[in-house]
Chain A
Amino acid sequence: MLAVAASHYSTVTVTGQAAGVAQGTLPLRRADTAPAPVRQSLEGGSVIAGIIIGVVVVVLIMIFIGLYNSLVKRRNAVDNSWSQIDVQLKRRHDLIPNLVESVKDYMSYEQETLSKVTEARAAAVAAGAEGPAQAAQAENALTDTLRSLFAVMENYPDLKASQNVMALQEELTATENKISFARQFYNDSVLTYNNKIQTVPSNVIAGMFNFTKRDYFEAPDAEREAPKVDLR
């Protein structure tokens, strides 16, 4: 630093004095120092090229890691939201026997409706292990039988007076809602995930690491017609 400052200073003094008086020593010293920066800049050129290549490689690796990680996160989100549906379906399976038990004394003429619910529940429990598509079908059938049970229950004013039945009905209604909201959330995660593994550029990585498309949990047909079960 000191040397650089000194030589800079002397150069300035030389040019500051009359040009003709300038003698060899100072300009010569400048000439001596001149080649060094040139050599440096030549080396610098290849160094810069190396740095650019290095940066490009690092950026590519980072993009690759980012895409891979986001695919894993989306897949985990799908798995997690499926387990949320699962929790609610299990809860419904647990609640139904209680409800059937509590209402059957009041509804002796509706044995057929009640046994349909019980059968549909058994089928849904069995289908639970077979993956989203089969489970969805069985659970939707169960939803339909429950809807008809709730509709029939409207005809029995005695039921409305039973605190136990009303509490169970609120729990089942809430569980039905949670199933449909969990399904909504699951389908949204599946949509995001499927979009991700099918679109450029993440489809390349999805192909390399075997990320496969997931099934939607289809809504029951009756729900598309938007039935209204007001149990309040």
Chain B
Amino acid sequence: MDFRRQIARNKRDSWFLMALVVVALLVLGFVIGFAYWGDYFGGIGLLGVFGVAAIVWSLVGYYAGPGMALAVSGAKEVTHDQEPQLWNIVEEMSVAAGQPMPRVFVIESDAANAFATGRDPRHSAIAVTRGLMARLNREEMQGVISHEMSHIRNYDIRFATLLGIMVGMIALVADFFLRWGFFFGGGRGRSSGSGSGGNAAQGVVFIIAIVLAILAPLFAYMVKFAYSRKREYLADASGVELTRNPVGLAGALEKIAADPAPLKTANRATNHLYISTPEKKHHKAGLFDTHPPIEERIARLRAMAYQAPGDVAATGETG
């Protein structure tokens, strides 16, 4: 499997998804502007405002987002002397992936979880919970870190950050319009002087705006979740490519699945970053899940183990 090509495709797909979300944001801006002021100038004006806001917001999120994600989850940076084994495992995986060493963080929580964030491999971080460190052996921890290192190498971290910002912005705008749009809507039409025809058109656009404001966030979340689910499988597979040991990650996921404690410091904005959904809800696979069912991921990893040549149980070079 050629990873360079896969990473290139990954980047392309991600830009396409980003473009879709940006277009959704601009369309929403135009329609709300049109509905509000009743003419094209209003629509294009608000579209422009949204466009500029999207750029500024993305830049801020791009540079400050990863730090904020680490801060809200209560992650503390650790050195090699504080956590030698964790640090060594991260370094092992960065050597295996041929990537720079990410910063290493620990979250003081009993829940078993981990995530990676950053804007590119040079500015990246891996955070694991204390609960995960207590439950996993070295081989399993290596599996988890290989998964996170793959998110970094595949540039999933960058697009998870950007997509999170865009989707958040659409949700916020739609929410704001639905809540406050009715109070001001229609009354301020500049075209009200041109007769009742203008008002009727404005009314129609206003209804379209309401429908869009309801649908756009749903669409944006679906894009984000579809993206997130697909990348989890990919990170599992390319993590195994690093360790050449599917059993370690499978074992880790089993322990994480069996762990009942939800991670309290995770929220709607950071859920999709984690290796396993932090909310711990159990139901059938749906369009609004950030992660594929963990049982399915374990099954795929176990299937890889059976394909591997030789005695799989002994393939761990991990020691």
A interface, CB within 8 angstroms of B: 77, 81, 84, 88, 167, 170-171, 173-174, 176-178, 180-182, 184-185, 189, 223, 226-232
Greatest chain B CB density within 10 A among A171, A174, A176, A227 is at: A174
**CB proximity of A92 to chain B, nearest CB, Å:** 13
- Whether the pair B92, A174 counts as a contact (CB closer than 8 A) is yes
Which bracket fits the contact residues of B? 20 to 34
Chain A nearest Cβ from B101, distance in angstroms: 11
- Whether A226 pairs with B311 at a CB distance below 8 angstroms is yes
Residues in A neighbouring B96, C-beta threshold 8 A: 181-182, 184-185
Identify which of B93, B314, B315 contacts A181 (C-beta below 8 A): B93
A interface: dominant SS: helix
Q: Is the CB of B317 within 8 A of A170?
A: no
Q: Are A185's CB and B98's CB within 8 A?
A: yes
C-alpha spacing A177/B317, complex, angstroms: 7
- State in angstroms the CA–CA spacing of A194 and B93 once bound together: 25
Please tell me which one of the listed residues A174, A189, A227, A232 contacts residue B91 in the complex, with CB atoms under 8 A apart: A174
In the complex, the answer to whether B315 meets A173 with C-beta atoms within 8 Å is no
Number of A-B contacts (CB under 8 A): 62
Interface presence of B6 (CB below 8 A): no
Q: In the bound complex, what is the Cα–Cα distance between A171 and B97 (angstroms)? A: 20
The CA of A138 and the CA of B85, in the complex, are separated in Å by 27
Query: Which residue of chain B lies nearest to A166 when distances are taken between CB atoms in the complex?
Result: B84
| A154 and B84 alpha carbons, distance in the complex (Å) | 21
- B310 and A167 contacting across the interface, CB-CB below 8 Å: no
Q: A171-B84, A185-B98 are in contact. Are A180 and B317 (CB under 8 A)?
A: yes
User: Which one of B88, B138, B311 lies within 8 Å of A232 (CB-CB)?
Assistant: B138
Min distance, Cβ A157 to any Cβ of chain B, angstroms: 19
Which of B244, B314, B319: most chain A Cβ within 10 A?
B319
In the docked arrangement, what's the CA distance between A184 and B97, Å? 9
A171 touches B98 (CB 8 A): no
Q: In the bound complex, what is the Cα–Cα distance between A223 and B93 (angstroms)?
A: 19
Q: Which of B95, B311, B316 has the most CB of A within 10 A?
A: B95
Q: Contacts of A167 on B, CB cut-off 8 Å? A: 84
- Chain B: minimal CB distance from A181 (Å): 4
A-B CB contact pairs (8 Å), 20 listed = A81-B98, A167-B84, A170-B85, A173-B138, A174-B84, A174-B88, A174-B89, A177-B142, A178-B92, A181-B92, A181-B93, A181-B242, A184-B96, A184-B244, A226-B311, A226-B314, A226-B315, A226-B316, A227-B314, A232-B137
B318 with A177: CB separation less than 8 A: yes
B152 CB → nearest A CB, Å: 15
The winner among B97, B244, B316, B318 for most chain A CB atoms within 10 A is B318
Contacts A81-B98, A84-B98, A184-B244 given; does A228 touch B316 at CB 8 Å: yes
Q: Which of A77, A81, A84, A177 is in CB contact (< 8 Å) with B319?
A: A177
Residues on the B chain within 8 Å of A173, using CB: 88, 138, 319
Q: Which residue of A lies closest to B87 (CB)?
A: A174
B5 to chain A, nearest CB (A): 11
Shortest Cβ distance from A184 into B: residue? B96
Chain A residues positioned under 8 Å from B97 (CB to CB):
185
Instruction: Determine whether the beta carbon of B310 is less than 8 Å from that of A231.
Output: no
Q: Is the CB of A170 within 8 A of B98?
A: no
